[in-house]
Structure 1
């Protein structure tokens, strides 16, 4: 029923308007508005390796990431995705008894989140004329991310690593410039789990990219020439 109402609302707008007016930033502002259903979020800081939620836990909170990076994992052996500033965790289903499909673990030194009770968010959405569209747009973004990841895993090893680097940097909030620093909290082991390759294969590909001057290592930081990386893998 909720999905059908969202589709009916969606038909009143063009796709560009929906994406612009019901995006993550607008959703956060919508929650802050003191209307008929005021709700209040709680600020929380997570240390590195601390879990935001674990697989199969009942999701009773929806979290907005304000800073830092969270890794989504399946059975602690597969890395599914990375969530960074302005991403939302726990909003995939509006069913209050939903269980988490993944574990979400802080991998940067600190992660700052604002968490809301899921029941309060659902109530506010249900009582707003166009509230369904925030969830609809969120789910469209999640589907896009999932399809991009599935496409990544079908690529040969070298392209898979190259596209993974591009995906990670596109979601990291880093400003566009030619030479950028790759996030230190995503190491070779994590990259291997994200690409479903063994660590030796990932190391070999990174060394090849370094020989081609696409990657530079300086003072334990990995810098990537984003222009050259894009030209080679897009």
Structure 2
């Protein structure tokens, strides 16, 4: 890939990211589409399809998990969409589920109207392209991670959660307490006992710190 290609991709990511897409969808002077502000309590299920109508959600506040069966494969937080590309996995599958792990506030759009508005703009396809690129990158990372040891997989997961949702503490970052041991185990794809063993090994190697309140603190690696 040439420097020009890299620069172009960087510019596309800056100009066609999810917050910019929300601005486009919320803009009312051109192709106005209906949107509803909804608040979900913790542990609520966010339905992507109701009465044969598919929906897209934009998170304003809070965190939701996306899972198939008992395995969590992604978390969505503020300034991210749910249902735009991840529902392509199979939103109609009974095992596919979006569940809030905190209180969540969203804007809800009808998916068909979202697609119509995106495609009505000259460069709208780039929003969809970037959404699919993000989804492909997620699946690629998950597949690559599955080849690693339990300890490595746990450390990678903690790095991801800390980088995306963590609270800075001096030179380190604290993983939010909403990511319980059970949720982390489901995300990594291992049992609770193996998670405990991995956390202990990571502590022994000084890669993480676990406080008396069971909070996990670690440094973010530049490669993540």
TM over 0.5, shorter chain: yes
Match of 1:200 in 2: 193
Which secondary structure does the structure 1 equivalent of 2:105 belong to? Answer: strand
- For structure 2, the residue ranges without an aligned partner over 5 or more in a row are none
From 11, 14, 24, give the equivalent of 1:17.
Answer: 11
The reply on whether 1:65 has 2:59 as its aligned counterpart is yes
Q: CA deviation at 1:132?
A: 1.3
Q: CA deviation at 1:223?
A: 3.6
Which secondary structure does the structure 2 equivalent of 1:183 belong to? Answer: coil
User: Which structure 2 residues correspond to residues 35-114 of structure 1 after superposition, within 5 A?
Assistant: 35-53=29-47, 60-75=54-69, 77-92=70-85, 99-100=91-92, 102-108=96-102, 110-114=103-107
Q: CA deviation at 1:39?
A: 2.0
Q: CA deviation at 1:170?
A: 2.3
From 189, 202, 209, give the equivalent of 2:182.
Answer: 189
Match of 1:179 in 2: 172
What does the per-residue CA deviation read over 1:119-164, in whole Å, with 9 as the maximum and x for residues that have no partner?
Answer: 2212211211111111111111111111111111111111111111
**CA–CA separation in structure 1 for the residues paired with 2:166 and 2:202:** 23
Q: CA deviation at 1:58?
A: 5.2
Kindly tell me: are residues 176 and 151 of structure 1, through their superposed partners in 2, closer, same or farther at Cα, counting changes over 3 Å?
A: farther
Match of 2:155 in 1: 162
Q: CA deviation at 1:54?
A: 6.5
Q: CA deviation at 1:56?
A: 10
Instruction: Tell whether the 8 Å contact from 1:85 to 1:173 is kept in structure 2 after alignment.
Output: no
Instruction: Tell whether the 8 Å contact from 2:162 to 2:174 is kept in structure 1 after alignment.
Output: no
Match of 1:26 in 2: 20
Match of 1:128 in 2: 121
Q: CA deviation at 1:87?
A: 1.4
The reply on whether 1:151 has 2:133 as its aligned counterpart is no
Q: CA deviation at 1:57?
A: 8.7
CA RMSD of aligned residues (A): 2.9
Q: CA deviation at 1:212?
A: 3.8
**CA–CA separation in structure 2 for the residues paired with 1:59 and 1:201:** 41
Instruction: Tell whether the 8 Å contact from 1:70 to 1:107 is kept in structure 2 after alignment.
Output: yes
Q: CA deviation at 1:14?
A: 2.3
**CA–CA separation in structure 1 for the residues paired with 2:87 and 2:71:** 25
Which secondary structure does the structure 1 equivalent of 2:215 belong to? Answer: strand
